[in-house]
């Protein structure tokens, strides 16, 4: 696993260009789910752990919440803070009250856990900010999730082992449904909701007039229909919310 210094370099300000907003067509991120939950609750302190460009922070602030963002890279934190006018820190422990008491009523970790270099300790670092009884909201890709599209893609990769792929920094943790559920159980979190879906990413989100795009688009649509028949077991993306033990 890369150490923290390497990760800070990888997830630099340049990464903001590939860490697309939830409002971009085809984005797998679901900010509507988060904001709907925030509007249902009495406003308090919301922490977006791995806030990216800060678009969810802005939405939560407009919903009446006091917000704090956390980012690993100092340049990213400063840029997002400057662009949004909202507080963003690279030191999560700075958000603790005197005596180490937790600050947050709700924490969101969106498309972040798969980038944790040290899954258990990094997750505990985030949970330390959440008050007992507070709500944790997590969403992200099931890189190893069971669905037709993933099976096809993995098989094609094994048939072409020499192929070199150039892409944005890849995931360090490849999640499955069972793995995510086990992570929740290990932390003794009280599960409120767990949902699997299959989104178009990383396939094309719209029909394009070239053979490869057309084939992948059709495969994704067939795969999504199959996943809807077994929603507890098939999908490439998860979300869950859970309460921290009191």
How do residues 219-239 score in pLDDT, each as one tens digit?
A: 999 999 999 999 999 999 999
**Would you say residue 220 lies in a domain?**
no
- Which residue has better confidence, 170 or 153? 153
C-alpha 21/C-alpha 28 separation (Å) is 9
Q: How many domains does the chain have?
A: 1
How confident is the model at residue 217, as a pLDDT? 94
Largest CA distance in the chain: 61
3-state secondary structure of 87: coil
State residue 214 phi and psi, 5-degree precision: -65, -40
**CATH number of the domain encompassing residue 189:** 3.40.50.150
C-alpha 175/C-alpha 169 separation (Å) is 16
- Two structure tokens written together for 90: 């690279």
**Would you say residue 181 lies in a domain?**
yes
**Would you say residue 38 lies in a domain?**
yes
C-alpha 144/C-alpha 150 separation (Å) is 8
**Would you say residue 163 lies in a domain?**
no
3-state secondary structure of 143: coil
State residue 111 phi and psi, 5-degree precision: 55, 45
C-alpha 12/C-alpha 236 separation (Å) is 26
**Whole-number mean pLDDT of the chain?**
90
Strands 237-243 and 130-141, sheet pairing:
antiparallel
Structural domain boundaries enclosing 37: 4-143+170-199+231-243
Nearest to 232 by CA among 149, 155, 145: 145
C-alpha 36/C-alpha 41 separation (Å) is 9
C-alpha 89/C-alpha 74 separation (Å) is 8
**Would you say residue 28 lies in a domain?**
yes
- For residue 202, say if its preceding peptide bond is cis, omega within 30 degrees of 0: yes
- Would you say residue 175 has pLDDT above 80? yes
- Two structure tokens written together for 54: 């800060």
**Would you say residue 239 lies in a domain?**
yes
**Continuous H helices in 160-206:** 177-186
Tokens 């995931």 found at? 171
Range with lowest mean pLDDT among 68-72, 141-145, 211-215: 141-145
C-alpha 145/C-alpha 165 separation (Å) is 21
How confident is the model at residue 19, as a pLDDT? 64
3-state secondary structure of 95: helix
How confident is the model at residue 167, as a pLDDT? 64
Give pLDDT tens digits for 12-58: 777 776 666 788 888 899 999 999 999 999 999 999 999 999 999 99
Give pLDDT tens digits for 59-95: 999 999 999 999 988 999 999 999 999 999 999 999 9
C-alpha 28/C-alpha 17 separation (Å) is 16
**Would you say residue 40 lies in a domain?**
yes
**Continuous H helices in the chain:** 4-10, 31-40, 55-62, 74-84, 119-127, 148-159, 177-186, 211-229
**Would you say residue 208 lies in a domain?**
no
Angle at 230 between CA 228 and CA 232, to 5 degrees: 110
């Amino acid at each position: 696993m890369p150490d923290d210094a390497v990760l800070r370099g990888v997830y630099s300000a340049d990464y903001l260009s590939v860490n697309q907003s939830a409002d971009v067509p085809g984005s797998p991120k679901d900010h509507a789910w988060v904001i709907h939950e925030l509007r249902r609750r009495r406003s308090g302190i919301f922490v977006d752990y791995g806030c990216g460009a800060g678009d969810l922070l802005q939405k939560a602030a407009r919903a009446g919440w006091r917000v704090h963002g956390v980012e690993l890279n100092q340049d990213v934190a400063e840029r997002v803070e400057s662009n949004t006018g909202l507080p963003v820190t690279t030191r999560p422990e700075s958000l603790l009250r005197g005596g180490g008491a937790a600050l947050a009523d709700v924490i969101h970790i969106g498309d972040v856990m798969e980038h944790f270099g040290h899954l258990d300790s990094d997750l505990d670092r985030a949970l330390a900010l959440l008050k007992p009884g507070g709500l944790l909201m997590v969403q992200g890709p099931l890189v190893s999730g069971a669905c037709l599209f993933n099976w096809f893609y993995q098989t094609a990769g094994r048939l072409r082992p020499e192929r070199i792929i150039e892409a944005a920094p890849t995931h360090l943790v490849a999640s499955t449904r069972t793995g995510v559920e086990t992570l929740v159980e290990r932390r003794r979190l009280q599960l409120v909701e767990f949902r699997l879906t299959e989104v178009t990413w990383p396939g094309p989100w719209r029909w394009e007039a070239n053979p490869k795009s057309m084939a992948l688009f059709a495969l994704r649509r067939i795969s999504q229909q199959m996943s809807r028949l077994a929603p507890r077991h098939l999908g490439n993306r998860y979300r869950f919310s859970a309460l921290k033990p009191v």
